[in-house]
Structure 1
Amino acid sequence: MNSSALDSFLDKWRARWPEWSVAEPFVAPEHRARAVAWFSLLQELDDMLNTSGDPLPADAKLAWWGEELRSWAGQRSRHPLGRVLEPIRAPWAVLADALPSLVEARAVAVDAAAAQRALTAFAEAVAAVEVVLFEDRPRAGAGQAVLLQTLAQRLYDAGVTGVPRSLLEPDAAAAPRRWAGELLKDWKLRVAGPRPRRIWAALARARLQSQASGKPIEATPVRTLLRVWWAARG
């Protein structure tokens, strides 16, 4: 399980989220390894959603991941992340069925509602996996929490390409800040979902607040500790 191939994916996610070193102790010990593996997988999918340039390589990867996730039901994983995740009997096929929607979601949405609709099936599939993965119960609003974080990550990675067309006028340069502010309106300090998701969402929300305000994020260990402590509460 600790192969160099697996470590390379986990390390890539940790490099993008260095705050996790402060947050991780708030995750149950038995869920820590699978949380990082799962978030690393979601990062791979985010990268395919937010790709720039020729989309064909990303489309091919998404198709491959669809086959890979379906194979996990029979415990036939090929990807290093599967060593951690495949033994868990989560609805992997449901997530696989939602992956094609990421191709369509790359297009600039007409408005905020269209941006949300494009990723709703994917977000609900992710939330369904997390119920099993983290031994939680279904919670109203969990899919919406994933949706907002996915849109925030798209804005973070893709910039103005991730902003709905209706927000591009009158000043396209300020559009990312406007979209960040719109996303924050529905994003509570503590979202629905299992504890690892709530903690990660708190870190992502802080980044989005920075984008909305145009000010650098204050990610000191103490501030991060307070954010994740609040998010981790029941």
Structure 2
Amino acid sequence: MSDSAGLDNFIGKWRTRWPEWQVAETFIPATQRQAVVAWFALLQEFEDIMNVDGDPLPADAKLGWWAQELRDWSQQRSRHPLGRVLEPLKAPWAELAEALPVVQLIRRQPGSLDDAMAQFAPFARVVAKVEAALFDAAAPDAHGHQALAAQWLASRAEAAGAAAAPVGMELPAWRALLLKAWPPAPGLSRPRRLWLRLARLRLKRELAGERPVAKPLALLWHSWRGASGGR
């Protein structure tokens, strides 16, 4: 498979999972769009490893491969098709590599919301730092880190169901708690604000018993709000 075909495959997989982005990316400068979807596709690879079903050993081996790949990006070397887009961009790739073990830790059933947030905090901080570098955003604050953690924990809940919730808590109650703990984060990069907005909208719709993906007109309004920094 050529690098171009491989890149299209990974980006296409992410776009299939997030069809809302076809509307949302209208608010992203055209010059940034390929880097944005390549970055989000990379994060989806880590989410898939986090949400692996069954024997985790192959997924953990893949995570180890990614850690080395990211360290190589810091030395201007890449093997993965996504690296052809992302590696030339200056970002703390080695720091991201060091934070990857959090992806394994978050599989554990948390004791509480605070426990889950604390487990994820190191990874959230590095992801926000990478995005600030990639998309020329300000350094994120604690609210930005918490919003990132809430998005990942919502993804974990979608994949793992009740096993993602604290012991003794039903899944709907856990999702409602995540939604309540999900702060506005206007200081994050515009691409992240948009994705956060879409993910939070999905969570709200799931709690309401509606289909996760909203209609195009609603998506356009929510995307505009996300791009402008509104909640």
Match of 2:81, SS? coil
The residue aligned with 1:177 is 172
Q: Check 1:49–1:191 CA distance in 2 against 1; reply closer, same or farther (3 A cut).
A: farther
d(CA) in 1 for partners of 2:223, 2:30 = 16
Q: Check 1:218–1:67 CA distance in 2 against 1; reply closer, same or farther (3 A cut).
A: closer
Match of 1:116, SS? helix
d(CA) in 2 for partners of 1:227, 1:187 = 16
d(CA) in 2 for partners of 1:162, 1:231 = 27
d(CA) in 1 for partners of 2:41, 2:213 = 24
CA contact (8 A) 1:110 1:164 kept: yes
Residue number among 204, 212, 218 corresponding to 1:223 in the alignment: 218
Structure 1 position 156 matched with structure 2 position 158: yes
The residue aligned with 2:124 is 123
d(CA) in 2 for partners of 1:212, 1:10 = 28
Q: Check 1:108–1:191 CA distance in 2 against 1; reply closer, same or farther (3 A cut).
A: farther
Q: How much has 1:32 moved relative to structure 2?
A: 0.7
CA contact (8 A) 1:210 1:217 kept: yes
CA contact (8 A) 1:202 1:231 kept: yes
Q: Match for 1:194: what amino acid?
A: S
Aligned residue pairs total 227
CA contact (8 A) 2:135 2:189 kept: yes
CA contact (8 A) 1:163 1:176 kept: yes
d(CA) in 1 for partners of 2:128, 2:185 = 16
The residue aligned with 2:181 is 186
Structure 1: tracts of 5 or more residues without a match: 168-174
The residue aligned with 1:170 is none
Residue number among 187, 194, 209 corresponding to 1:214 in the alignment: 209
The TM-score, its normalising length taken from structure 1, stands at: 0.92
Q: Give CA-to-partner distance per residue, 1:95-121, whole Å, 9 cap, x none.
A: 110111221211111111111111111
Percent identity between the two aligned chains:
47
d(CA) in 2 for partners of 1:37, 1:162 = 27
d(CA) in 2 for partners of 1:158, 1:51 = 9
Structure 1 position 205 matched with structure 2 position 216: no
Q: Check 1:3–1:225 CA distance in 2 against 1; reply closer, same or farther (3 A cut).
A: same
Structure 2: tracts of 5 or more residues without a match: none
d(CA) in 1 for partners of 2:53, 2:140 = 34
The residue aligned with 1:172 is none
Match of 1:36, SS? helix
d(CA) in 1 for partners of 2:186, 2:155 = 16
Q: Say what the alpha-carbon RMSD is for the aligned residues.
A: 1.5
d(CA) in 1 for partners of 2:183, 2:148 = 12
* Greater mean deviation of Cα atoms: 157-166 or 74-83: 157-166
